Structure 1
Amino acid sequence: MKDLQKVWENLDVLHLNREAPRAYYIPYANTESARQGKRGKSPFYQTLNGQWKFRYHRSVQEVKEAFYEEAYDYSGWDDLLVPSCWQSNGYDQMQYCNVNYPIPCDPPFVPDENPAGLYIREFNVSGDWKDQAAHVVFEGVNSCFYLWVNGAFVGYSQGSRIPAEFDLSSYVRSGKNRMAVMVLKWCDGTYLEDQDAWRYSGIFRDVYLLARSQERIRDVFYQADLSADYKQASLRCDVESHGIVEVQVQLLDAAGHEVSSSTARVKGKETLRLDIASPVLWSAENPYLYSLLVSGAGEVLHFHVGLRKVEVVDGVFRINGQDIKLKGVNRHDSHPELGQTIPLKHMIQDLKLMKQHNINTIRTSHYPNDPRFLDLCDQYGFYVIDEADLEAHGVLHAGDYHMLTKNPEWEAAFLDRAVRMVERDKNHPSVVIWSMGNESGYGVNHIAMARWTRERDTTRPVHYEGAALKYNGHPDTSCLDMNSRMYATVQELIAYGSDESQTKPLLQCEYSHAMGNSCGDLKDYWDVIYAYPKLMGGCVWEWCDHGIKAESPDGQTFYGYGGDFGDVQNDGNFCIDGLVSPDRIPHTNLLELKKVMAPVLLEAEDAAEGKVRVSNRYDFIDLSDVVMSWKVELDGETVEQGELPSLQTPPHGTEIVTIPYSVPHTAGRWFLNLFVTQRTDKPWAAAGHELTSEQFELPMPASVPAPAADLRVLPDITVEQRDDEVIVEGFDFLHVFDLHAGTFTKITKHGVPLLQGRPQFSIWRAPADNDRKIKVLWSKEGYDRAITKVYRAEVTEVSEKRVQIEVDFALTCNIKLPLLKGKAVWEVDGAGAITLKTSVQVREDLPYLPRFGLQLVMPAGNEQVEYFGYGPHESYIDKRQSVRKSKYELTVDQMHHSYVVPQENGSRYGTEWASVSNALGMGLLFTSLGSEFSFQALHYTPEDMTQAKHTYSLRRRKETIVHLDYKMNGIGSSSCGTDLLEQYQLSDKDMAFELRMTPILTEDE
């Protein structure tokens, strides 16, 4: 097109004819509809969402025709729903990248083969709009676009996740109109939009028309002033007009009663003030909202008002005078089918899940979200770190992390992204921190952004992690109100929290990388965060797995990641790093997070006396709206339960309560379980929703007699050795031990086979995503190829009631020295029980092991699992805050937790006994004889899960694979975070454990 202005590579042009940024609002005709906030009910609003005509070109160079002209025939074009992403509809290339740019790094230039999407939509304009100014708002277009109406060029804009508004008054007419849009995939702004995400294109957020009065309210900015004792408040409302407007501002309380009002004749800008006596303050715990109605020129604008004060005092982050811990997550826009086009209901689903799991903070990583999302955060109660649409991570691999932010030619582009974010979102009480983007170096351009933001809005602090000293950026960080780190170690946090020279609070904007089976370090982090006032909390990376719904070659549905869609440059499954699955099913990571960030802490003051210390970790509300119930279990069975009177524990306060349980009177394992639930319904969960729970083991009084000794008389056995086979036969069992293999080949009871294959010692687990660093060493040493070498196996003792077999063995692999050497002593008694005593020595120079224990395979049909240990879901040495010890009954399938990328899962820490059987109760009972063990029963071997890259390639075996581990290595979060803490590493060089396997035939055994 000859008349096309090629500005997408011009740093001097960020837009053409775009309106100045303003606060987000929709004008309404009256107060009632304005307060309801239903956009479609406004006569001044008209959606342009819906079916558009669309044509995709691999390059803008292919666009030769003047498609925007009124006479152009587009009838042969495709239909495409707006809002949507091209790639979600089969156009262009699905591509996931993390750090690297998906184009050559040659700023500000982009490839000549720049894909273009052409959109055409016809729409009607009501005659009622004849005397009004028509505007069009594009809430989000990736990455830049040109706009024509009725054949005339209107304007150009870039900045993908920030609204672009144009005045169409000179272009539209009553009746039928035609709008044409050309969207380009790349522009110079692409260098500032290198976020860790799928690279989507198109008109992906809402598009709508607004009819505005010729003289109208253009912008509103309110700021609250609170007295020192928070008992008085005033609201300063800055109103900007287009022309001269008689303006009324009115503040209503939540019930709709007027609190204060004021009027003024506004010409340009005026400030109106409203006084508020006995203000109700807004917080994430009590998101009380007033309504600010701004009326003028026949329009009513509505804004949520949350009265709150955000400040940093003596290095401590505070809201409304209270020290606050931000219990947060990072959240990308992500939908498994729609890409970055997020329906309102999907936003609500996310927020409800977050509230249900004790999350109070959201970092909008790494761009402003849909403005309606912030409306919801205002209402549901979240602290939002609103982040500018700015990430230039790709320059890191170009050799200079600061090359764009230190270049004055890019200042306008940087600043534009802060200005448009702040102006749009400035009236949202949920926004408590402005963030100047992510991973883009740090230089004069970031300083310009932060300084402008602080001047424009004095009520919120400013954040930017990229200014950390480790990045060697600009030394002046005075424009930032906090220090920020990603994936700092626990020791680094302790050092910062105890350093008196640090005058700013520290935010972990990213920590505990929730990739796959993860978050094994949460308690370690939060113990430290709670201990030091200057540590203001942090945001787990991240909220959801960014899997894309796809279909395998054999017709199975699965979630794809980088490389699954023909994208050659990709970062694999690094987008599968969330607390919930793509379809919002919580991973156990989220359950762990819920527990460690719970608003109520329960600690044993004196368990023997039933005294429990209740600590209220809410900042603003007492515990009168929670119910605390209790239950006492004996060996996993409930023997007593009750409910306590209402608690009145004040915010940040403690209270000692007494649980009126009966003193244990019989031998066994006694546990006191406490549950804290909601008393009343909330918008995000019904009454009875569990906030947290806790468990204490009750001490046995000295007067309780010890358990009676086992006085059973064991039947006799016969032992026969045939070559390398030792055949042990009893009254109702037959076991066969292979001396050559050093293990059993047959275990039966009443002729029922209970073993398939040979039990063997195992050190390999399917690497979790967090093993991605250490697994290289594991594989180098041959952990995944270990086989058993038997040095000696012989029957050492035989009697009428027992036989004992000793085996000296090693686990070895090709090339390497033996990984470990050990002795196994197997004993079979007259009841058919098999006792194993093992001691091993691990080679000194080896890295820590994934696991060590016994693996055995049970025949098909053994689907029933019962165990006494931690549950009901998976648990590990460093990931067990959200589980409690009891007796659990599940199926083998229920023991499995499905991750998008198959990996280690389903282990149960601290198991004391477990049984695996068929539906009639025929199977094996496994009992610890000393220390507890880690238990796992799945339909997959570690090798199956190691080899599978997707769930559809993970083939469910009919057999049940059982692991009885001396120890399982911790989980951690080191896929992007810190290394697994030493105390959770299986680095033992000398190990010994004992267990017993007993064949069972009935449900009574």
Structure 2
Amino acid sequence: MREASRSGVVPYYEDVSPGTGALAPRAWWAASDARRVNLGGAWRFRLSPRADAEDDSFARPGFDATRWGAVAVPSHWPLQGHAPGHEYGRPAYTNIRYPFPVDPPFVPTENPTGDHLRAFDLPDDWPGGAAVLRFDGVDSCARVWLNGHELGTFKGSRLPVEFEIGELLEPRGNVLAVRVHQWSSGSYLEDQDQWWLPGIFRDVTLIERPEGAVRDFFVHCGYDHTTGNGTLRVDCEPGGTVSVPELGLDLATGEEATVPVEPWSAELPRLYDAELATEGERIPLRIGFRTVAVEDGVLKVNGRRILLRGVNRHEFDPDHGRVVDAETMRRDLVLMKRHNINAVRTSHYPPHPAFLDLCDELGMWVMDECDLETHGFLAVDWRGNPVDDERWTPALLDRAERMVERDKNHPSVIMWSLGNECGTGAGLSAMAGWIRRRDPERPIHYEGDRSCADTDVYSRMYAHHDETELIGRREEPPLDDPELDKRRRELPFILCEYAHAMGNGPGGLSEYQRLFERYERCQGGFVWEWIDHGLRQRTADGTPYFAYGGDFGEELHDGNFVCDGLVFPDRTPSPGLVEYKKVVEPVSIVGDTAAGTVTVTNGHDFADLSHLAFRWTYEVAGRALDSGRFTVPALGPGRSAVVELPQLRAADDAGADSEADGGADGGAGGGQGGEAWWTVRAVLAEDTAWAPSGHEVAWAQFAGPAVPAPQAAPEGERHTPRRAEGGLVVLGPGVFDAATGTLRYLGGAAVTGPVLDVWRAPTDNDRGTQWHPEGRLDHQWRELGLHRMRHRIAEVAVGEDSLTVTTRVAPAASDLALRTVYTWTAAGDRLRLAVEVTPEGDWTLPLPRLGVRLGLCPTLEQVEWYGGGPGEAYVDTRAASRTGRWTSTVEALQTPYVRPQENGARADVRWARLRRPDGTGLAVAGEPPFSLTVRPWSTEELDAAEHTHELVRSGTLWVHLDHALHGIGSHACGPDVLPQHKLFAAPAAFAFTFTPLTGTAEAAAVPDAGEPAYWGRATS
């Protein structure tokens, strides 16, 4: 059979052609007065292991399928059919590698094939005549029959196809039969870093085509920013009329009119209701006037440079795969808008067409990408790559045509992308040529060809910061071809993927954004990516978790590389999304306390600031003492205004309020009573389609004038260490082991530690890139032994008013060490620990962390702190962390990354309190401020877990008080931690003061952080 195939007789699913029998592609429209019948719902289903395991008798009228199982349409069959006897395969994930031999166009004989049957009746008032059957998405190849007549075959999973069926329809008892193959020649074009999931996963629709109905139309809506006029022309087959009542237009199709209009942009998505009418059909339209152009080396819309604050978006649902309903699409876009995201790259295929309607409505720049990726050919040095093989060019052109024709009428679509990670070849040039002829009004994008021979923008993925700056200055290394080099330097630059959001991270966002703002050529980009692709599963006892590559028995997989989004699989925002919102906020607020002013700059591309209200709060020690509103002019884009800070109540009143609170540190020490902060917020002045009034768009925080600190409670006399029975030493509220100097009890409660700690459960970014193993920091850390440091007690010295413990902390099989001296003192009810660390040897690797770890009673469930919050923050992911007083439960402090890893640190903490329900507990203050992490499991348990359900509360509450932490970066696929955020071994000194809490005076109420309970929500 295979040899016969090689001689030229190939089955349709291995033929390189796009298919047979389909109508020419056309624009998509959501509704018209022509009838539609949704053929979704329960379909009869049979799964076979091979493409030729069954004949086509199931498509004949009268076939008995009562013994078959059932699936929902739309769906992916591996995500359905869990009843005994009706298991329908399993999902599989690979990033680059094809899960079958690279033998184009052939696919394995083991080719799961799903036969689908759907019986339907026409509505009683169905008028008869012409009709089309439309499939919006089938993975990966289908053959279709209606009432026993074969309609044709098709590939191109994420693109529509239509068949003419009017003559075949019957009033009753119509039978639609669809055979779907998981693997086909089309699979070689769809290697797109996602789950391999076959099935009919988008809508199937029967659409009436009355005599004189619209065959296709193309809306041209240009905008001239110099005159404020828009020009409208609608080309239509057959001819008809176009009316735009709000503009007083009533035109024949093909006729052009120029009138004053309000333009469409992602910030101001102005749409005009219109109607296209032909003899047989009326279609409601929503049109937006805008012009896209590359001018003077800059991408412009409506004459202005735009800055893309974007994300890559796969279609994904944790229960249904790529089946995403309209409510979820809107939810995604609302969440994006609320986090200051203004652009989407539809990686790596056109989305459901309804998504683009929502982008038009809510306002989003869209890079529409073709259903094309051949990344798996990289493994064979690109031999046989279809984009460089003329036999595949008709299939490539077919995909480009189906995308452009379907989506050409959306103002949100400002760029066409030829595909992703396909290498180079003449097929891409053919696609670009066809697109330019059909739609010269939009630029073309493709990242994989550094020469940019076929593109209008220079695109890269994961270029590091230094290289991005060189490109911004148009000083990147030259190409060999001088003409191409000159042309490329004249193009705008876009990072089509950057800041890989896998696990904890991404770090380095702020540094990227400053480059985008500094260099006109650098016009932003698209974070990879929007959502973690974890599939919801449950353990035997019903505990939910999210599965990733390898969890379904795949022979070849890429693990949790499929979980690299800014939202968790259930669409809970991750700390990375909160950070991104802050970094890309479109309003800059800079305070100058000395001058008594605030400078506000409008960073929008089109909108003025009239839609925002500005509010301020003045806090001392985390207590709001005064608040109000700023009056800020309706600044145009790029404009700034200086606003005077308001007059405050007298400083004595502020100090009195702080003193009435009992002191900011609640007895924890640290003397922070006089710390003052201004917080200025820009919020929506009125409700919008995506957020209510009061929604925060931007904010800034800056130090205020010093406020006299309240009178601190007397420390009490310094305690002298005394020896006690059982080999113990008592120093104030602390009880120590006399031989080792280890703290055993604090305020009568058992304690484990504190001891110097340098290890963290490696993040996905610590694990590094799969293709650069030499840069995988976690392997280097483990090879050095940082996860198994040994502590040698060198000396325990009991002084007149102190206990000093000298240790050497070192990994086995190495002469490197950290000489650590712990000095304990006590006064009153407070116990102070001073730590001095001195590296010994030549440390070349950065440390994961530097601080102390201690174990406490697990009943300390409530955490309150003054410092950075409300969410997690690390040295290079701290833009969204603001100083204040925050409260949380231990559970809510955990961030449930799909693969467990280091998480949950709160930055710049001055003091913290850990309490039981009765208010008893422990307070700690740091000198200098520290990073606080509190967990119900140890670092070792976190490190060992592969899924969230494997983390089980232990009998100890583990508290990390860190002097410093290594940065996060985005090295899971992108740049490593920037040099300034690396934690190299160096002499360090820091201190903590511990105070037992009695549950009386210290139990004052504090404001709730309102932080999402990540752990509970992500696995609910």
- Structure 2 residue aligned with 1:259: 248
Whether the aligned pair in 1 keeps the contact of 2:858 and 2:936 (CA below 8 Å) is: no
- 1:548-577 Cα shifts (integer Å, max 9, x gaps): 010113320111111111222111111111
Instruction: Please tell me whether residue 781 in structure 1 is matched to residue 789 in structure 2.
Output: no
* Counterpart check, 1:248 vs 2:241: yes
Higher deviation after alignment, 353-362 or 957-966: 957-966
1:728 aligns with 2:730: yes
1:769 alignment counterpart: 764
C-alpha distance in 2 between matches for 1:312 and 1:654: 27
1:659 aligns with 2:645: yes
CA positional deviation for 1:830: 4.6
Letter matched to residue 59 of structure 2: Y
Aligned equivalents of 2:147 and 2:114: distance in 1? 19
Contact 1:842 1:989 in 2 (8 A): no
Taking structure 1 as reference, are residues 853 and 81 closer, same or farther at Cα in structure 2, changes over 3 Å only? same
**Can you list the C-alpha shifts for 1:641-685, whole angstroms capped at 9, x where unaligned?**
111235311121111112214274556001001111101111111
Residue 958 (structure 1) shift: 4.3
Cα deviation, 1:225-262, whole Å, max 9, x if unaligned, reads 33351422221222123xxxx5112224xxxx353122
Is 2:870 aligned against 1:872? yes
Once the two structures are TM-superposed, the CA of residue 957 in structure 1 deviates from its matched residue by 2.4
Classify the secondary structure of the residue corresponding to 1:285: coil
Cα distance between partner residues in 2 of 1:92 and 1:259: 57
C-alpha separation between the residues in 2 aligned to 1:875 and 1:401?
45
1:508 aligns with 2:495: yes
| 1:164-243 map, 5 Å | 164-227=161-224, 229-241=226-238
Does the 8 Å contact 1:714/1:831 carry over to 2?
A: no
For residue 671 of structure 1, the aligned residue among 667, 677, 690 is 677
User: Which whole-Å deviations, capped at 9, do the CAs of 1:935-973 have from their partners, x for residues lacking one?
Assistant: 111212111110111111001224321111110111121
Is 1:759–1:856's contact at 8 Å kept on the other side of the alignment? yes
1:882 alignment counterpart: 880
Inter-partner Cα distance in structure 2 for 1:705 and 1:130:
84
Give me the TM-score of the superposition, normalised by structure 2. Answer: 0.90
Give yes or no for contact 1:326–1:536 (8 Å, CA) kept in 2: yes
Secondary structure of the residue aligned to 1:161 is coil
Aligned amino acid, residue 490 of structure 2: T
The change in CA–CA distance for 1:716 and 1:78 in structure 2 (over 3 A counts) is: closer
Task: Give the RMSD, CA atoms, in angstroms.
Answer: 2.1
> Quick check: 1:862–1:916 contact (8 Å CA) kept in 2?
yes
Note the 1:428-827 alignment, pairs <5 A. 428-468=410-450, 475=451, 477-499=452-474, 502-604=489-591, 606-645=592-631, 647-662=633-648, 664=651, 666=655, 668-700=674-706, 711-714=714-717, 717=720, 719-720=722-723, 725-728=727-730, 730=732, 733=733, 735-748=734-747, 752-753=748-749, 755-772=750-767, 773-795=776-798, 797-798=799-800, 802=801, 804-827=802-825
Select which of 45, 49, 66 maps to 1:54.
45
> Does the Cα contact within 8 Å between 1:27 and 1:299 map onto a contact in 2?
no
- The answer to whether 1:18 aligns with 2:16 is no
Amino acid aligned to 2:333: L
Query: Normalized against structure 1, the TM-score is what?
Result: 0.92
2:54 is aligned, of 54, 60, 63, to 63
In the alignment, the residues of structure 2 paired with residue 709 and residue 21 of structure 1 have an alpha-carbon distance, to the nearest angstrom, of 77
Deviations along 1:597-642, whole A, 9 cap, x unmatched? Answer: 11111012x2134310001111111111111111100111111111
Match of 2:858 among 847, 857, 860: 860
Note the C-alpha offset of 1:818: 3.7
Give, as a single letter, the amino acid of the residue that structure 2 aligns with 1:743. T
Amino acid of the structure 2 residue aligned with 1:944: E
Change over 3 Å in CA distance of 1:411–1:563 after alignment to 2: same
For the residue of structure 2 that corresponds to 1:378, the secondary structure is helix
In structure 2, distance between residues paired with 1:831 and 1:71: 88
| Equivalent residues, number | 950
CA distance in 2, matches of 1:351, 1:225: 25
Q: Distance in 1 between matches of 2:613 and 2:857?
A: 46
Letter matched to residue 105 of structure 1: V
Compared with structure 1, are the counterparts of its residues 922 and 840 closer, same or farther at alpha carbon in structure 2 (3 Å cutoff)?
Answer: farther
The CA distance in 1 between the partners of 2:872 and 2:517, in whole Å, is: 26
- Name the CA distance, whole Å, in 2 between partners of 1:444 and 1:302: 40
> Which aligned pairs between 1:379-394 and structure 2 lie closer than 5 A?
379-394=361-376
Distance 1:877 1:446, change over 3 A: same
Residues 729 and 325 of structure 1: CA distance in aligned 2, closer, same or farther (over 3 Å): closer
Query: For 2:550, what is the secondary structure of its paired residue?
Result: coil
Q: Secondary structure, in 3 states, of the residue corresponding to 2:859?
A: coil
SS state of the match for residue 145, structure 1?
strand
Contact 1:770 1:975 in 2 (8 A): yes
* Aligned-pair CA distance for 1:413: 1.5
Give percent identity, aligned residues only: 38
1:70-109 to 2 correspondences below 5 Å = 70-90=61-81, 91-109=88-106
Bigger Cα displacement from structure 2, 818-827 vs 851-860: 818-827
8 Å contact from structure 2 (residues 292, 300) kept in 1:
yes
Deviates most, 429-438 or 900-909? 900-909
Partner Cα separation in structure 2 for residue 336 and residue 716 of structure 1: 58
Shift of 1:455: 1.3
Evaluate the alpha carbon distance shift between residue 691 and residue 832 of structure 1 in structure 2; reply closer, same or farther with a 3 A threshold: closer
1: CA distance, partners of 2:31 / 2:354: 15
In structure 1, runs of 5+ residues without a counterpart are 30-42, 264-270, 469-474
Query: 1-side partners of 2:632 and 2:206: how far apart?
Result: 53
Contact 1:144–1:187, Cα closer than 8 Å, also in 2:
yes
Q: Tell me by how many angstroms 1:739 deviates.
A: 4.2
* C-alpha distance in 2 between matches for 1:292 and 1:713: 80
Q: Secondary structure at the match of 1:335?
A: coil
Moved more, 292-301 or 569-578: 292-301
What is the CA deviation profile of residues 480-539 of structure 1, one whole-angstrom value per residue up to 9, with x for unaligned ones?
Answer: 000111111111111011126620011101000111110221101001111111011100
**CA–CA distance in structure 1, aligned partners of residues 572 and 395 of structure 2:** 39
Partners of 2:791 and 2:470 lie apart in 1 by 46
* Offset at residue 115 of structure 1 (A): 1.3
Secondary structure, counterpart of 2:566 in structure 1: coil
Which residue does the alignment assign to 1:349? Answer: 331
Q: Name the residue aligned to 2:291.
A: 309
> Post-superposition shift, 1:137?
0.2
Q: Distance in 2 between matches of 1:896 and 1:358?
A: 25
Q: Name the CA distance, whole Å, in 2 between partners of 1:554 and 1:848.
A: 41
SS in 1 for 2:22: coil
Q: Structure 1 729/382 Cα, relative in aligned 2: closer, same or farther at 3 Å?
A: closer
Question: Structure 2 unaligned runs (5+)?
Answer: 82-87, 476-485, 656-672, 768-775, 1003-1020
> What does residue 268 of structure 1 align with?
none
Deviation for aligned residue 1:103: 0.9
Give 1:706 shift: 7.1
Task: Tell me if the contact between 1:367 and 1:387 (Cα under 8 Å) persists in the aligned partners.
Answer: yes
Q: Residue in 2 aligned with 1:45?
A: 36
Aligned to 1:417: 399
Question: Are the counterparts in 2 of residues 738 and 744 from structure 1 also a CA contact under 8 Å?
Answer: yes
AA in 1 matched with 2:109 = D
Q: How does 1:110-189 map to 2 (within 5 A)?
A: 110-126=107-123, 128-189=125-186
2:682 and 2:579 mapped to 1: Cα distance? Answer: 16
Specify the SS of the correspondent of 2:900: coil
Q: Could you say if the C-alpha distance between residues 273 and 809 of structure 1 is closer, same or farther in structure 2, counting changes exceeding 3 Å?
A: same
Residues 297-317 of structure 1: CA deviation (Å, up to 9, x unaligned): 221123321100111111111
Aligned partners of 1:230 and 1:279 also within 8 Å = no
Other-structure match for 2:658: none
Are the counterparts in 2 of residues 260 and 276 from structure 1 also a CA contact under 8 Å? no
